Amino acid sequence: MTASETRPLTAVRRFPSDFLWGAATAAYQIEGAAAEDGRTPSIWDTFSHTPGKVFEGHTGDVAVDHYHRFREDVRLMSELGLNAYRFSVSWSRVQPTGRGPAVQKGLDFYRRLVDELLAAGIEPALTLYHWDLPQELEDAGGWPERATAERFAAYATLVADALGDRVTRWTTLNEPWCSAFLGYGSGVHAPGRTDPVAALRAAHHLNLAHGLAVQGLRAALPAGAQLAVSLNLHEVRPLTGSAEDREAARRIDTVGNEVWLGPMLEGRYPEELFADTAHLTDWGFVRAGDTAAAGQPLDWLGINYYTPTVVSQVRAGEARPQDDGHGASDFSPWPGADDVAFHQADGPRTAMGWPVDPSGLTDLLTRVAARRPGLPLVVSENGAAYEDVVGPDGSVHDPERIAYVHAHLEAVHRAVEAGVPVRGYFLWSLLDNFEWAYGYAKRFGAVHVDYATLARTPKSSARWYARVARSGELHAPDAHV
């Protein structure tokens, strides 16, 4: 039996007693209070206020008002049995221009949030960057410029100085692939630029920013601090077994995964990346010592997973399918892979159009563990959007989401059974929220939010997940939950 093969659930699956059961959010998606207490615009404020960039002109100005309702939200987390909560800090809330001293009112919000979490027995898992670069830094060139990496390291130290006595679990970046290649390559994310060379420069400086931040955090935090990065690694599969399709998968793996794993885990870029993109750049922006700086020791690695990536080589005279699941654009987020086609597998899909295939999570966890034996792994994001409907009694019954999460927790447990050191699982997301370029049209939350009143209502999936989190046990699926 291979890691990805499914076997019927005939017995209870028990997770380790110290397993992290959490949910995750991001600052711009939930906080609101966009202009309060010294906060200035981030690239997502600018992008969402630009006509045509976000569904129906939605913005995160109010989002779900977590900035004012965080105590209510922590109570919800406690009711849902969570023992960990992954959130991000808004850079422009605590250091509005990306330079200079911190704004204490901004830091005070996170101090209050962390104190509330700790009082509820919930471990805070802090992410320093979830895509919301201060607009002033973008105006100065953004992630394609080396100075942004240096500014990020200074910002990381500011936050560590303020919260290091309260927070043990730190993540530098969330999904830098999206920041670099959707933000600067395809343009479907902020800042909306469409330059493949800028995307590659951004990728390098995000790697550098991560490494410099880890160095700064090690110096600023107590010895027991746990440092990590969260990557949306792609489980890349060739459409067929042909040599051409395997080569297509290799190229997507290189620019989707190895562009991060090489520097961050091994202190080097793969030569294949340079060869694949030689027609775009000579990578002269990589300075001596950069990749060594990026390759700092980590205490764990966060892996975000939603669906596999299926690819093929475009045949002569054939149209190139571009449905890679990352939003429509005339520009590719895959530099050096213009002749690779993307395919969506048959079978059930989420409201995002993403195929449901939990085997990819088992395979991904197993592959990363084999590459770096002994490095603890955490599923730092996994979840699904569905067309949730509020019933006549005000309840939200979402059996599709229960089935999705159940299947993916089974996938995690298979990896654990195979000896993969998976230490936790964070459901995406705690709350319905601003889903980036999709605005408020896609709901990922375990908790339903009425965007008119901002009332919170736990869905049936939240109640189901609470039972799993409290017991640490995964039982056979129950259609009547």
Q: Which residues are annotated as catalytic?
A: 175, 381
Q: What would the 3-class secondary structure string for the chain be?
A: CCCCCCCCCCCCEECCCCCEEEEECCHHHHCCCCCCCCCCCEHHHHHHCCCCCCHHHCCCCCCCCHHHHHHHHHHHHHHCCCCEEEEECCHHHHCCCCCCCCCHHHHHHHHHHHHHHHHCCCEEEEEEECCCCEHHHHHCCCCCCHHHHHHHHHHHHHHHHHHCCCCCEEEEEECHHHHHHHHHHHCCCCCCCCCHHHHHHHHHHHHHHHHHHHHHHHHHCCCCCEEEEEECCCCEEECCCCHHHHHHHHHHHHHHHHHHHHHHHHCCCCHHHHHHCCCCCCCCCCCCCHHHHHCCCCCCEEEECCCCEEEEECCCCCCCCECCCCCCCCCCCCCCCCCEEEECCCCCECCCCCECCCHHHHHHHHHHHHHCCCCCEEEEEECCCCCCCECCCCCECCHHHHHHHHHHHHHHHHHHHCCCCEEEEEEECCECCCCHHHCCCCCCCCEEECCCCCCEEECHHHHHHHHHHHHCEECCCCCCC
